[in-house]
Amino acid sequence: MVEIPPHFYFPIGAGLTYAIPLAAALRSGIGSLPAPLRVVSIYVAVTLVESCVMTWLSIRSIENLWLIHIFTPVEVFLLLLAFARLQVHELARTMILAMIPLFLITWAFLLVTSDSLADFPVYGRTVSALLIVAVAAYTLLVLSQHALTAVTSQPWFWLTVGLLVYFPYLVMLNPLSSALHGRSEELLFTLYRVNAALMIVSNLFITRAILCQKRQSSGGSSSPRLSPA
C-alpha cells in the first residue's frame, strides 16, 4: 500500500467532491435534466476521473502535469457548450460556440510554442480560465436581467456563481505554481489548499443547481432557458 503524504489529504478530498454533483445528477436522472445540466453532468464526471487519475499518479511519484494540459480543452469544450445552451440571444450562443474551435487552436499553438507537458500549463490554462470567467459572468448578467423570478431560485444562477467562485483563482494559480515549482513547495501546497477549498464550494454550488432544477421540474415550473433540448 502506498502511503499518502499528509499534505495530499485535503486536495484529494476536494477532488473527490466532484462526485457530489454527479451523484445528484444521477439521482435526478441525467437524461431528464435540461441540456445545459446534462453537459455539466458530463463535465463533473470527466473532472472526477481526471482528479482521481492525477491523485493516483501523484502518490506514486509519477509525472502527472501532462494530464492538466490534455484536460484543459475538454473542460473548455464542455463548459462553453453548456453556456451556449443557456443564452437568451442566438448571436451570443453562436459566438460562444465559435469560441470553442478558436480556443482549441490557441491551446494547440501555446502547447507547441510556450507550455511544456512537464510543467504547469501556464498559458493555456490561464487563457481557458479567463475565457470561462468571462462567459460565466456574461451569462449571469444577461440571465439576471431577464429573470422573472428570484435569481436564487434558478439553476443557472448557482451554476454560474459556482464556476465564478473557482475559475478566477485558476487565472493566477498556474502561473504561480509554475514559478514556485521546485522552489517553495510549502507555499505551493498552500496555494493548492486554497484551490481545494474553492473547488469544494464550487461543487456544492453546482450540486445546488442540479437540485434546484429537480425541484422546479417537480413543482411543474422550470426556467425557460433550462428547458430540455
pTM above 0.85, yes or no: yes
The domains of the chain are located at: 6-217
- Is pLDDT of 9 > 60? no
**Residue 218 to residue 127: CA distance in whole angstroms:** 39
Question: Cβ distance 4 to 37 under 8 Å?
Answer: no
**Residue 136 to residue 15: CA distance in whole angstroms:** 22
Q: How far is CA 56 from CA 1, 8, 49, 52, in A?
A: 12, 11, 11, 6
Question: Cβ distance 169 to 195 under 8 Å?
Answer: yes
- Is pLDDT of 203 > 90? yes
pLDDT for 14: 85
Mean pLDDT of all residues belonging to the chain: 86
**Residue 136 to residue 130: CA distance in whole angstroms:** 10
**Residue 96 to residue 86: CA distance in whole angstroms:** 11
pLDDT tens for 125-158 read 999 999 999 999 999 999 999 888 889 999 999 9
Q: Please report, as a single letter, which amino acid is at residue 170.
A: L
pLDDT for 119: 78
pLDDT for 181: 65
pLDDT for 220: 45
Question: Cβ distance 166 to 14 under 8 Å?
Answer: no
Q: 184 CB contacts (<8 Å, ≥6 apart)?
A: none
**Residue 219 to residue 211: CA distance in whole angstroms:** 12
Give the model's confidence band at 221: pLDDT under 50 very low, under 70 low, under 90 confident, else very high: very low
pLDDT for 197: 93
- Cα angle vertex 196, ends 21, 176, to 5°? 135
pLDDT for 56: 84
Q: 127 CB contacts (<8 Å, ≥6 apart)?
A: 103, 106, 107, 110
- Is pLDDT of 8 > 90? no
pLDDT for 227: 45
**Residue 150 to residue 189: CA distance in whole angstroms:** 39
**Residue 122 to residue 120: CA distance in whole angstroms:** 6
